[in-house]
């Protein structure tokens, strides 16, 4: 292999990225060494098994990925702002939209939500930890390493360029040679392990570790949505694992599952991909629905309207999510009957979703609505998500979809659903639970600026794209002609894109500003909340969450207690020694071996791949002979911790 095939060369932007990566690395190493932070980093973060810290690391990684995916988006929008632009060439543009899509879905939206689930769900169900804390650390580190492996592709070896859907045979060796597509396969495969483990971990956590008295129908809505999401993950992710493995065999070992030669079936890839990919859409939207339920209820000072209907509609959506995947390729010529069936099942998803929208509206009805930033994001969600929803129903009408398919109409639709749903929820949830994670609120004034700039920018960016689609502009073209007449609306769209970028910067500034100046919380109940996570006496729950496990008597237990003036005070005699798991460096080391194995396979260096895999098995082997059952936190220490904070 030659150097110019290993490092990406010939583009000043890439050289700029090379330099900035090296400088950042040097800066971090310098900071850690100078301020003697290595031990702190290792003890507090790299080896932690605390679900709250893992959650924070998920969220930090997701925000970084939001930045990376956002820069990709702005590069694309810059190229498309005017007809015949020469800012990016075709190959470069293709790589950027591929990484944008993959990163935003797999390495931004999902980890952001899983991060919030990690922080909140154990607290909401009154548990001290997740079912398998060590496994939780393995989940995080495999996700993180998968993301890093995928990310370095743009400076080493070249990024994948076959789209985030990687349709075969385009993604085969013959048409997409080199490491780019391998990065996609291995990055997703390694991160997928983490996601599947998270699915199992939280399913067990929610089913087995609820506080006494919390029956299934007393669980907070966010916990419910997480539970349903985990079930979808457990059914959907193995499909992705298999599909990616088959394509990896095609590319590395000469098998013919999806190739042009040897009777490969390219349609099979599309089917497997969307059999996972469609449920994936609900993996990133259901937790968002759960969050909006919590936030709307909290800031309307009212119980959620139609709690049971909310749960049933969610279960229905989860079931449907596996029955609609063909709508991603109505144009594959499956015939009238198949298209009709999948048209109707797809439209049917609109029914439970509509029910949820009306239940949210009626949660506010006869409430006392407070316009805090999380609430603004939730209201913005309702208003914008409905546009994504109705255009989704339009796309579901197969006969009409033949005209929308692969156009900007579709691009606009899924951004309306994913941004107004998932991204709004990530922002709303982050701001809502920020005091739980860091002990202070984000500044509300700056937060409202973020909301308005982002929401207006979002509509300015994506609304014109419906019209571009109806005017015949296909997705994924890197440029277009003057005569097409698509210039003005694209310019508008680009302006909107940059507004969203500015809003992101204001959000980051808000984090800095609030870190410096925000008033510190003194109780754990920053928003006058309803669910158990707000019931810890300290602003930030200690590592064992609850000194005494609460006993739940109904839905919105904490709120009812507060209303009745019967919030229990913690007494010293109630405290017993608390069993907690020990920290471990093994998950981090195991994930590092995954990186070695993945990198080796990306470049087809089998010696390196095998070394990495041996490393992975060695860590597994080590773990299975490790007899560390954790330790007990003494009563004195608990009393000390709870007292200090009072």
Instruction: Compare residues 45 and 362 and give the one whose CB is closer to another protein.
Output: 362
Q: Which of 112, 29, 88 is nearest to 477 (CA)?
A: 88
Instruction: Compare residues 230 and 492 and give the one whose CB is closer to another protein.
Output: 492
333 sits in the region (left: phi over 0; alpha: psi -120 to 50; else beta) called: left
Residue 633 is inside which H or E element, if any?
A: strand 631-633
The secondary structure of residue 162, as a DSSP letter, is S
CB of 303 to another protein, least distance (A): 5
CB of 166 to another protein, least distance (A): 10
CB of 493 to another protein, least distance (A): 13
Angle at which helices 487-517 and 444-470 cross, to 10°: 160
Per-residue 3-state assignment (H helix, E strand, C coil) for 172-192 = CCCCCCCHHHHHHHHHHHHHH
CB of 164 to another protein, least distance (A): 10
Rounded distance between C-alpha atoms, residue 211 and residue 268, angstroms: 45
Instruction: Compare residues 347 and 549 and give the one whose CB is closer to another protein.
Output: 347
Residues in a beta bridge with 316: none
Other CB atoms within 10 Å distance of the CB of residue 185: 26
CA-based torsion, 604, 605, 610, 613: positive or negative: negative
Instruction: Compare residues 262 and 577 and give the one whose CB is closer to another protein.
Output: 262
Grouping H, G, I as helix, E, B as strand and the rest as coil, residue 332 is: helix
Angle at which helices 51-80 and 133-151 cross, to 10°: 20
Instruction: Compare residues 30 and 312 and give the one whose CB is closer to another protein.
Output: 312
Two structure tokens written together for 308: 């049971």
Q: Interior CA angle at 464 toward 421 and 390, to 5°?
A: 45
Two structure tokens written together for 82: 């005017």
CB of 206 to another protein, least distance (A): 23
Q: Which of 412, 356, 404, 363 is nearest to 387 (CA)?
A: 412
Instruction: Compare residues 212 and 565 and give the one whose CB is closer to another protein.
Output: 565
Instruction: Compare residues 293 and 545 and give the one whose CB is closer to another protein.
Output: 293
Instruction: Compare residues 121 and 387 and give the one whose CB is closer to another protein.
Output: 387
CB of 412 to another protein, least distance (A): 12
């Amino acid at each position: 292999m030659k150097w110019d095939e290993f490092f990406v060369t010939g583009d000043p932007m890439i050289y700029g990225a090379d330099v900035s990566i090296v400088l950042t690395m040097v800066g971090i190493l310098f900071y850690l060494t100078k301020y003697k932070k290595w031990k702190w980093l290792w003890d507090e973060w790299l080896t932690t098994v605390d679900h709250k810290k893992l959650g924070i690391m998920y969220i930090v990684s997701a925000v970084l990925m939001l930045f990376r995916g956002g820069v990709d988006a702005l590069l694309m929008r810059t190229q498309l702002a005017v007809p015949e632009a020469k800012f990016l060439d075709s190959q470069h543009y293709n790589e950027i939209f591929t990484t944008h899509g993959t990163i935003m879905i797999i390495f931004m939206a999902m980890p952001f939500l899983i991060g919030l689930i990690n922080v909140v769900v154990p607290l909401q169900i009154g548990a001290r930890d997740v079912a398998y804390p060590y496994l939780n650390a393995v989940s995080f580190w495999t996700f993180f390493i998968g993301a890093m492996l995928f990310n370095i592709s743009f400076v080493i070896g070249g990024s994948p360029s076959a789209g985030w859907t990687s349709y075969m045979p385009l993604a085969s060796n013959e048409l997409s040679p080199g490491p780019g597509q391998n990065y996609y396969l291995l990055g997703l495969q390694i991160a997928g392990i983490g996601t599947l483990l998270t699915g199992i971990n939280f399913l067990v956590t929610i089913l087995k570790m609820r506080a006494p008295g919390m029956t299934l129908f007393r669980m907070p809505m966010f916990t419910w949505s997480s539970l349903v999401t985990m079930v979808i993950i457990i059914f959907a992710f193995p499909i992705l694992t298999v599909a990616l493995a088959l394509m990896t065999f095609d590319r590395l070992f000469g098998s013919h599952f999806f190739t042009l030669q040897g009777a490969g079936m390219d349609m099979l890839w599309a089917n497997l991909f969307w059999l996972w990919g469609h449920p994936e859409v609900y993996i990133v939207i259901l937790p968002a629905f759960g969050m909006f339920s919590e936030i709307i209820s909290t800031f309307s000072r009212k119980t959620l309207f139609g709690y049971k209907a909310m749960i049933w509609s969610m279960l229905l959506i989860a079931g449907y999510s596996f029955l609609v995947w063909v709508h991603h390729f109505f144009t594959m010529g499956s015939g009238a009957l198949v298209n009709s069936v999948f048209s109707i099942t797809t439209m049917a998803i609109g029914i439970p979703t509509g029910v949820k929208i009306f239940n949210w509206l009626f949660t506010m009805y006869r409430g006392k609505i407070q316009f805090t930033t999380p609430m603004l994001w939730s209201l913005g969600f309702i208003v914008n998500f409905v546009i994504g929803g109705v255009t989704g129903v339009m796309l579901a009408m197969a006969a009409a979809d033949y005209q929308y398919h692969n156009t900007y109409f579709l691009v606009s639709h899924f951004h309306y659903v994913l941004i107004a749903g998932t991204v709004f929820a990530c922002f709303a949830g982050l701001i809502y639970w920020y005091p739980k994670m860091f002990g202070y609120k984000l500044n509300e004034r700056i937060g409202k600026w973020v909301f308005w700039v982002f929401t207006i920018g979002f509509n300015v960016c994506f609304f014109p794209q419906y019209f571009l689609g109806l005017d015949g502009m296909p997705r994924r073209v890197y440029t277009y002609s003057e005569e097409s007449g698509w210039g003005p609306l694209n310019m508008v769209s680009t302006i909107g894109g940059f507004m969203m970028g500015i809003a992101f910067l204001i959000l980051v500034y808000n984090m800095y500003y609030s870190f410096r100046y925000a008033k510190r919380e003194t109780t754990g109940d920053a928003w006058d909340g309803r669910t158990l996570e707000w019931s810890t006496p300290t602003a930030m729950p200690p590592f064992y969450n609850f000194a005494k496990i609460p006993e739940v008597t109904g839905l919105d237990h904490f709120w009812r207690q507060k209303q009745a003036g019967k919030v229990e005070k913690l007494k010293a005699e109630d405290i017993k020694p608390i069993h907690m798991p020990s920290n471990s460096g093994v998950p981090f080391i195991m994930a590092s071996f995954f990186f070695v194995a993945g990198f080796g396979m990306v470049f087809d260096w089998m010696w390196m791949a095998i070394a990495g895999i041996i490393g992975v098995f060695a860590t597994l082997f080590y773990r299975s002979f490790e007899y560390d059952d954790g330790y007990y936190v003494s009563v004195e220490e608990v009393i000390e911790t709870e007292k200090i904070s009072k």
